[in-house]
A and B are shown apart, each in its own frame.
Chain A
Amino acid sequence: MADNSRARCKTGIAGLDNILNGGIPRGNTILITGSCGTGKTTMSLEFLVHGALMGERSMYISVTEAPEKLVENMITYEFFDKKLIDDKKLIFVDLQEIYVKLGLEKLEFTLEDVNILVEQIVKMVKELGVRRLVIDSITSICYRLTSKEEIREFILHLGKELSDMGCTTILISELLPSAQGYSQYGVEEAIADGIILMGNLERRGDLLRTIQVIKMRGTTHSRAKYVLDLTSIGVLIAPLLKGGSVEAR
């Protein structure tokens, strides 16, 4: 099987690498999706930090949150080293600033705007030699695209270019608790190479965070639901004991 032939991008999150049989196939563009508070941002950041620690340049493109605030949150983690940022192994980019520079401070993007944005992201990845990329969130970019065709064009174009450069990408997708499917617009999930669903589960009064790999091109993987624990040493993943659990997205 292709399983062994494709190079892996180890997430550095022990449980997740096991589920994925070694990591995310390199160059994949995957969607991490879930409602708020399910740990998408934290897990993505950990993925980047582990990459940076292994010497891979990692970039975090933030749409809604100021990078300074994210860094502040990271300091509490034992595996995090501020030096990664000083050495530019871990790079934070504020997309709002990029919007201003590209004249994209508007509510609706044209197809031209979409292409300019993709080109800019690709250019940064290429010139800075980025190996791991997180865009948080793809939903807030798609919000400005006016049609499903534009969203499709955006993610396909971006995914193709990044994959050609061997950059492994996580697109964070915000999901409304009431949403059907795995993404806000329904388009993202169809195009992504992989989908990791994060959710909440109520069990005897406790609210558990859960993680489930729905699909991942280029590798076999477990499709079971696991429990996720956010600790100071990072994300811990454990098998889910199903008794008495109720889905609570």
Chain B
Amino acid sequence: MELKTVSIGMPLLDESLMSGVPEGYTILLSGTPGSGTELFAKQFAAAGADNENVIYITSTERDEDILATMKSFGWNTNIKIVNIGAEYYHKVLEKELIISKYREEGIPTNEIFAPARKRKEKEVNFLTMITYEISKLKPPFRIVIDSLDFFLNNYERAKVISSLRTIKAHAQYYGGVVLVTMMRDVYDTHTQSGIEQLADIILEMEMLRTPKGFIRYLIIKKVRNHPEKAGIFKYDIYEKGIKIVK
């Protein structure tokens, strides 16, 4: 039986993989800062916008910045953005800002007797929240998580990996695809290998500085059951996005 695949949004890369990404697959994309992983994530999201339910989970950008970037490349923006960054700011950072102000200046007299918090307000677990969001997705779907770093930095590593496993299982069951971005070489090997084991495809983006400018490389590090597909490509950024060159 031939595998049903979906496009990654970059023809040459599709070709080098399995004529696209097989449904149910989880892709791990890591890269050095500035290499374009966020752009890759958006291009990947846009490639599914026509025919799939796309959910784009971001922890660093504002919705409008994501949409503006996508529009500037002429991509389809019919995606659902879940903005963990904004939520996080609202629920956690804002509270921390007030705390640091109080720590610096002391609590103003009129605030001393005000209740510190509504007792019923629960702590938000963003990890649970996105897992829940994803569980509601109707197939066919495409999930982008940009980036996993946010969760790795805020939650127990083992819990993050376990959530990722849940998300992967969900995608496998319903035939969706998942793209997860992550920073390179910053986590302990245990975490790193745990995540890499879950991924069916691992891509890496790298930049090399030369006297003539940057040379960008996209590395296919792993394709499950297809070690022969590993390889190094060059890529460039054109007006329509990232383009792989032979």
Q: List residues of chain A with CB under 8 Å of any chain B CB.
A: 93, 96-98, 100-103, 116, 119-120, 123-124, 127-128
Contact = CB atoms under 8 A, between A and B. Distances in A.
B99 A101 contact: yes
Nearest to B95: A103
* Closest CB pairs A-B (n = 5): A100-B116, A103-B99, A123-B106, A97-B116, A127-B109
B96 interface: yes
Contacts of B98: 101
Contacts of B107: 98, 101-102, 120, 123-124
Contacts of A116: 103
B115 interface: yes
Nearest to A120: B106
B208 interface: no
20 contacts: A93-B113, A98-B112, A98-B116, A100-B117, A101-B99, A101-B102, A101-B107, A101-B111, A101-B116, A102-B99, A102-B103, A102-B107, A103-B96, A103-B99, A103-B102, A119-B106, A120-B106, A120-B107, A123-B107, A128-B109
A107 to B, nearest CB: 17
A101 B111 CA distance: 9
Contacts of B113: 93
Nearest to A117: B103
B1 to A, nearest CB: 56
Contacts of A102: 99, 102-103, 107
Nearest to A103: B99
Interface in B81-109: 96, 98-100, 102-103, 106-107, 109
Interface residues of B, number: 15
B111 A124 contact: no
A96 B119 CA distance: 12
B112 A93 contact: yes
A123 B111 CA distance: 13
Say whether chain A's binding surface is mostly helix, strand, loop, or mixed: helix
A138 B103 CA distance: 21
Nearest to A105: B116
Interface string B108-128: 010111011100000000000
A101 B103 CA distance: 8
Nearest to B109: A127
A185 B100 CA distance: 30
B118 to A, nearest CB: 11
B25 to A, nearest CB: 42
Nearest to A98: B107
B207 to A, nearest CB: 39
A98 B103 CA distance: 11
B106 A97 contact: no
Contacts of A103: 96, 99-100, 102-103
Interface in B197-233: none
Select the residue from B96, B111, B115 with max chain A CB neighbours within 10 A.
B115
A123 B102 CA distance: 12
A172 to B, nearest CB: 21
Contacts of A97: 115-116
Given A102-B102, A124-B109, 10 more contacts: A93-B112, A100-B116, A100-B117, A101-B102, A101-B111, A103-B102, A103-B103, A120-B107, A124-B112, A127-B109
A73 to B, nearest CB: 20
Contacts of A119: 106
Nearest to B96: A103
A120 B98 CA distance: 15
A193 B191 CA distance: 55
Contacts of A120: 106-107
Select the residue from B96, B107, B112, B117 with max chain A CB neighbours within 10 A.
B112
A97 B116 CA distance: 5
A98 B109 CA distance: 12
A229 B67 CA distance: 75
A101 B105 CA distance: 12
A48 B240 CA distance: 75
Contacts of B111: 101
Nearest to B98: A101
B228 to A, nearest CB: 53
